[in-house]
Structure 1
Amino acid sequence: MTSKQHKRTLLKLSGEALMGDDAFGINRSTIVRMTEEVAEVVAMGVQLAIVIGGGNIFRGVAPGAQGMDRATADYMGMMATVMNSLALQDALKHRGVDARVQSALNIEQVVEPYIRPKALRYLEEGKVVIFAAGTGNPFFTTDTAAALRGAEIGAEIVLKATKVDGIYTADPKKDPSATRYHKISFDEAIGKRLEIMDATAFALCRDQKLPIRVFSINKPGALKRAVSGEDEGTLVHV
């Protein structure tokens, strides 16, 4: 894939990415730094949509969730993503970036519902669209929500932002000789049993020929380089 700017991009942020060095919750300095990076790519003319996980908030109540019904726990997790989405929207507002939150769950007193044509219009107007509450269904992860929303809005790529700067041949923390894949095909990743996204999300991206780039959100300027199609992290392609 040649280096080029992705005009419409879906950014998948893990909830843990908002924690910084905290045990759970939202680290203010971390979210402010992220908004700076988001503002930078929006200023480039990129149409950016974001899906955020809720693990950072849900982790705080995890001990109490042990033995809980899976569907109930998943709905709690969806509500955590709404909280994260509102926090990011507020931080972007203070940075001067116009953002809208759309929720897959119907809570109109707090955020507007997900409506695809309206989301597309917001993107075309240069607004950041934050998709909250996953797919709105239990048993589906926010990875699947990112793949689904990415396909629905016609994104050119899904950027999966994590704490690791790409996909490695082995765990770099355990094996110093592990090397990073610069790019790898979907079929190769499946053959090597690399855990990039959950199986449903990964299959959807593959079927829709929607590439995935895995990169570290903690590296300064990494988001801009990933959006620009530079060799940042690992590109998973058809």
Structure 2
Amino acid sequence: MGVAYSRVLLKLSGEAFAGNYGYGIDPGFLEYISHQIKEVYDLGVQIAIVIGGGNIFRGFQGEEIGIDRATADYMGMLATVINALALQSALERHTQIPTRVLSAIEMRQVAEPYIRRRAVRHLEKGRVVIFAGGTGNPFFSTDTAGALRAAEINAEVLIKATKVGGIYDKDPKKHPDAVLIKEISYLEVINRGLQVMDHTALTLCKENQIPVIVLNISEKGNLKKAILGENIGSIVKG
């Protein structure tokens, strides 16, 4: 069976790592997501991953307790490194997939420094690449980091893994009558103020013509179905 995308960037939120715990790292989620990634890996797809850190620390939390924004954002970036190392360990333990963590913040004892050509070479050699440390700069979200890395490695699609079925016209958790939008343009997402990704991330995807698929990662097989080109979740393009 042919795949629709041969090189993908998967964006995972830090909140997903907390699973049912609400905070920290849920080992059950690590095992689950490892097997979902393995299904795609077995199709011969090159996989890069960007992870958030919201299950451990978010920048705005620092501001609330008197830490300046730049410092708080760096703390959030360090949280993404913790998640990246946890996912690397889980992938190698549960699926035996060779995995590399590349960090935008240099810390050679635990991760390789981010170098674009090195990242691409790892992908070409069949390794899953996890990008940690966001963009390496404060004031940018991990969504923006995902869009930036997707452009740098020439990913054919950015898949944003969420806890809902896709993009809705309003928050489905608060409004039972919310309508799923199957396809929408980058500009329409921005103009309608839909909470998909921040504007910087969307603009990067638009300028580089990288489609964004938003899907519910908690439903088994959704990631594989999206890679195979099935009509899963919502897609932003055009």
TM-score, normalization by structure 1: 0.95
Tell me the residue number matched to 1:76. Answer: 75
Give the drift of 1:173.
Answer: 2.2
Do the aligned partners of 2:98 and 2:128 also contact (CA within 8 Å) in 1? yes
Q: Indicate the larger mover: 180-189 or 41-50.
A: 180-189
Report the alpha carbon displacement of residue 220 of structure 1 after superposing the two structures with TM: 0.8
2:227 corresponds to: 227
Q: Which stretches in structure 1 are left out of the alignment for 5+ residues? A: none
Give the equivalent residue in structure 1 for 2:24: 25
Aligned equivalents of 1:11 and 1:224: distance in 2?
Answer: 12
Q: Distance in 2 between matches of 1:179 and 1:23?
A: 27
Q: Which secondary structure state, in structure 2, belongs to the residue aligned with residue 160 of structure 1?
A: strand
**Which residue of structure 2 aligns with residue 218 of structure 1?**
218
State the Cα deviation string for residues 111-132 of structure 1 (Å, max 9, x = none): 1100111111110111100000
CA contact (8 A) 1:79 1:133 kept: yes
Provide the alpha-carbon RMSD of the alignment. Answer: 1.6
Moved more, 166-175 or 20-29: 166-175
Q: Is contact 2:63-2:69 (8 Å) kept?
A: no
- State the Cα distance separating 1:236 from its structure 2 match: 0.3
Is the Cα–Cα contact under 8 Å of residues 15 and 22 in structure 2 kept in the other structure? Answer: no
Distance 2:61 2:175 in 1: 30
Which position in structure 2 is the counterpart of 1:199? 199
Q: Deviations 1:89-116 (Å, cap 9, x if unpaired)?
A: 0000102111000000111111110011
Q: Which runs of 4+ in 1 moved over 4 A?
A: 61-65
Q: How does 1:92-171 map to 2 (within 5 A)?
A: 92-94=91-93, 95-171=95-171
Long gaps (5+) in structure 2: none
Aligned amino acid, residue 198 of structure 1:
D
Over the matched positions of the two proteins, sequence identity in percent amounts to 53
Q: Distance in 2 between matches of 1:189 and 1:132?
A: 27
| Structure 2 contact 116–153 (Cα < 8 Å) conserved | yes
